[in-house]
Amino acid sequence: MAHDRFLRALSREPVDATPVWLMRQAGRYLPEYRALREKAGSFLSLCQNPELACEVTLQPLRRFNLDAAILFSDILTIPEAMGLGLHFVAGEGPKFEHPVRTPEAIAKLAVPDIEDELGYVPAAIKLIRRELDGKTPLIGFAGSPWTLATYIVEGGPSKNYEHLKALMFNEPAAMHQLLDVLARSTAAYLNAQIAAGAQAVQIFDTWGGVLSPANYREFSLNYMQRIIADLKPGPDGHVPTIVFTKGGGAWLETIADAGPTAIGLDWTINIDEAVARVGDRVALQGNADPAILYAKPERIRTEVADILTRFGDTPGHIFNLGHGVTPQVPPEHVEALVEAVHEFSAR
Residue 151 is among the residues annotated as catalytic for this protein: yes
Dmax (CA) for the chain in angstroms is 58
Q: Is 27 annotated as a binding residue?
A: yes
Residue 74 is among the residues annotated as catalytic for this protein: yes
At position 275, the amino acid (one-letter code) is V
Q: Is 206 annotated as a binding residue?
A: yes
Q: Is 24 annotated as a binding residue?
A: yes
| Three-class DSSP category at 284 | strand
Give every CB contact of residue 233 below 8 A, 6+ residues apart in sequence.
Answer: 194, 239
Please spell the DSSP secondary structure of 66-91, one letter per residue.
-S-EE----TTHHHHHTTS-EEEETT
**What does each C-alpha distance from 317 to 113, 215, 272, 281, 293 come to in angstroms?**
36, 29, 11, 12, 20
Alpha helices per DSSP H over the chain: 5-10, 31-40, 43-48, 50-63, 77-81, 103-107, 114-118, 120-132, 145-154, 162-170, 172-196, 213-216, 222-230, 252-257, 271-278, 297-311, 331-345
Residue 24 is among the residues annotated as catalytic for this protein: yes
Q: Is 184 annotated as a binding residue?
A: no
Q: Is 74 annotated as a binding residue?
A: yes
Catalytic hit among 5, 8, 12, 37: 37
At position 227, the amino acid (one-letter code) is I
Q: Is 323 annotated as a binding residue?
A: yes
Instruction: Dump strand ranges (E) for 206-269.
Output: 241-245, 262-264
> 273-280 long-range contacts, Cβ below 8 Å, gap at least 24?
274/249, 275/310, 275/311, 275/312, 275/314, 277/252, 277/253, 278/252, 278/253, 279/314, 279/316
| Three-class DSSP category at 119 | coil
Residue 37 is among the residues annotated as catalytic for this protein: yes
| Full strand arrangement of the beta sheet holding 317-318 | 69-70, 138-143, 200-205, 241-245, 262-264, 283-285, 317-318
Q: Is 25 annotated as a binding residue?
A: yes
Catalytic hit among 5, 24, 129, 301: 24
Catalytic hit among 29, 151, 189, 216: 151
Give every CB contact of residue 119 below 8 A, 6+ residues apart in sequence.
Answer: none
Q: Is 250 annotated as a binding residue?
A: no
Catalytic hit among 74, 129, 266, 301: 74
d(CA 122, CA 126): 6
Between the two ends of the chain, the Cα-to-Cα distance in Å is: 12
Taking the mean position of all CA atoms in its chain, how far away is CA 326?
15
Residue ranges at the known binding site: 24-28, 74, 151, 206, 323
The binding site for substrate comprises 24-28, 74, 151, 206, 323
Residues carrying an active site annotation = 24, 28, 37, 74, 151
